[in-house]
Amino acid sequence: GAGVSQSPSNKVTEKGKDVELRCDPISGHTALYWYRQSLGQGLEFLIYFQGNSAPDKSGLPSDRFSAERTGGSVSTLTIQRTQQEDSAVYLCASSFNRVGEGLGGYTFGSGTRLTVV
Amino acid sequence: QKEVEQNSGPLSVPEGAIASLNCTYSDRGSQSFFWYRQYSGKSPELIMFIYSNGDKEDGRFTAQLNKASQYVSLLIRDSQPSDSATYLCAVSPWDYKLSFGAGTTVTVRA
């Protein structure tokens, strides 16, 4: 697609429920990233995919968080047993990952605003 | 120590003036440096990137990098009300992951 597409744009869920957030990156971008941004805070790295593999999961806050990517394209971030502190905007980004040439910068999707009540 | 530090602001400048934003980073091995603009309620958009020491100009924006001082800055010339946003500095210590500062909020008053 022309840009990074995320769905849903807004999600309100009850504490303890599971949620799935979807990201469809720019066609041809091999690298995909999930970040989250809490109100008034900076961007917090969650996970990085290169193709379908996730070489860096170091930012996932707990084992309630997981992510997968299939076909080198769409990625799903799943949060199990949601807690109120999970409320944030979850941003997906993609890039060409030119190893050795430096990073060309990410293109972000419009984000999913998650509210846990 | 945070990896990337920015003054949170707010930075208020009159229309037509120069806005100067600063960013320092801790990893001396960082290779790539980016400035993103984020309007309220929107996602970040890339406005500048710089890899080499010195200045890089793009329209009204100039990015400046000094790797010896671990310092990167963004100048916005002839500031317009539409420049009012939060500006995020991002640094890549590796080939893939960006570390972001908390952002500087800029308000351009007409």
pLDDT in tens, B63-80: 999 999 999 999 999 999
Nearest residue on chain A to B40, alpha-carbon basis: A40
Candidates B45, B85, B92, B104; CA nearest to B65 is: B92
How far is the C-alpha of A89 from the C-alpha of A85, rounded, in Å? 12
Check residue A55 and give its pLDDT: 87
B51 CB neighbours in chain A (<8 A) are: 102
Name the residue facing A48 among B51, B96, B102 (closest C-beta): B96
Name the residue facing B102 among A41, A105, A108 (closest C-beta): A41
Q: Is B46 on the interface with A (CB under 8 A)?
A: yes
Taking only the tens place, the pLDDT of each residue in A11-43 is: 999 999 999 999 999 988 888 999 999 987 789
A81 C-beta neighbours (distance < 10 Å), count? 11
Name the residue facing A43 among B46, B51, B100 (closest C-beta): B100
Average pLDDT over residues B99-105: 93
CB contact under 8 A, B46 and A31: no
Considering chain A, what is the average pLDDT of its residues?
Answer: 90
Picking from A43, A48, A108, A112 by the largest number of B CB atoms within 10 A of its own CB, the best residue to mutate is A43
Q: Is A103 on the interface with B (CB under 8 A)?
A: yes
Longest dimension (CA), chain B: 41
Specify the residue for token string 């984020």: B38
How far is the C-alpha of A21 from the C-alpha of A17, rounded, in Å? 13
How far is the C-alpha of B73 from the C-alpha of B85, rounded, in Å? 16
Taking only the tens place, the pLDDT of each residue in B42-67 is: 999 999 989 899 999 999 999 999 99
Provide, rounded to the nearest whole percent, the portion of chain A with pLDDT above 90.
74
A56 CB neighbours in chain B (<8 A) are: 96-97
